[in-house]
Copies of this chain bind each other. A is one copy, B any other.
Amino acid sequence: MSSKLFVSAQEVAEKAGVSRSAVSRTFTPGASVSAETRRRVLEAAEALGYHVNHLARGLMRNESGIVCLIVSDVATPYRSALLRELTIQLQNAGKVAMFINTDRSDGSVDRALQQAIRYRADASIILSGLPDKSITQLCLRNGQRLVLINRDDDQPGPLKINLDDFESGGRIATAFVRAGCRVLAFANSEAGTPSLMRRERGFVAAAAKLGLDVTVERHGSTGYEAGKVLAQRMLTRAERPDAVFCATDLLACGLMDAARHQFGLSVPRQLCVAGFDDIEQASWSSFDLTTFAQPVMTIATRAVEWLGSGRDDATSEVEHSVRLTAELIWRGSIRAG
């Protein structure tokens, strides 16, 4: 029946009695169109339900307006919060977010970037995994901007946004000691993600400076279940820790739950706990977790600002790197000094 396709600028032009160029100019800010023609075009467009075809526009302008978000573990609280902020700010900047999930194999980050190239994305923001150097080069050579968030990589070209993980580890160590803790432990995943390893090393180093050893335990992913397992391992040791810094809030939640419900320990009286990310659950009264807040809003702002910044090749050779500090959110999982 009405297998009519999308309405094109040509049809609008005919209905308005003007040339197709006039239609195009009407929808191009800053183009030269008289008020009268503009009015007639807009009227016809409204009547016909015309919308500029961004595929064709992107083809012409060599600028699709698409920004790819490459993510795994979207269902994780921290990831989804960051995703939320990024999409909102991208939209405010007139871009549109294309979402690529890399929950499968690890090489899929490369395939994701290829997808980004196929759709001529103006930029790609990588939240998970690390692309192969050859793919990165391919993207840059094609004029595609790249942003790496909390990914460690020394390739020049992409914008790299990182936190002061190492220093955070140090700050929490002194907080533990000030609270009277003597047996410190660090709970990590066994993924070996660089940012998590920096937290670990910062914590261990600071503790050493304070004359304390740290028992490090690593297991599984960065989720709740892994936290429970880590609690099993740590809290059955001969010398039971009285303070645990967890690489992630989810780990901390699992560890706290196990400590309380399986080992009958009281937090923070018998066990102090700290996490990282400041996910929403950290503020729930069941956890009331002292943790470091990822500056999600700032991360998104910086990334989007940089995407909008000039395309001048002059700066394309310098090292783009941003270091943000994670704010310590003081709650009740560490007893007062």
Contact = CB atoms under 8 A, between A and B. Distances in A.
A55 B119 contact: yes
Nearest to A98: B98
Interface stretch (A31-39, A178-186, A280-288): A280-288
Nearest to A134: B49
Interface stretch (A57-65, A203-211, A233-241): A57-65
Contacts of A119: 54-55, 96
Given A99-B98, A101-B84, A224 B280 contact: yes
Interface stretch (A2-10, A188-196, A212-220, A322-330): A2-10
Given A280-B224, A286-B257, A53 B49 contact: no
A26 B313 CA distance: 35
Interface string A1-44: 11111110000000000000000000000000000000000000
Contacts of A143: 3, 5-6
A51 B111 CA distance: 12
Contact of A120 (B53, B115, B262, B281): B53
Contacts of A96: 98-100, 115, 119
Contacts of A114: 51
Task: Report the interface size class on chain A.
Answer: 35 or more
A58 B56 CA distance: 9
Interface stretch (A73-81, A147-155, A161-169): A73-81
A9 to B, nearest CB: 13
A118 B54 contact: yes
Contact of A101 (B56, B87, B253, B260): B87
B75 A77 contact: yes
Contacts of A257: 284-286
B80 A74 contact: yes
Contacts of A261: 285-286
Given A75-B84, A80-B74, A97-B98, A55 B120 contact: yes
A51 B118 contact: yes
Nearest to A101: B87
A91 interface: yes
Interface in A281-337: 281, 284-287, 313
Please name the 10 residue pairs, one residue from A and one from B, whose CB atoms are nearest each other, closest first: A80-B80, A87-B101, A99-B99, A286-B286, A97-B99, A54-B118, A257-B285, A74-B84, A55-B55, A51-B117
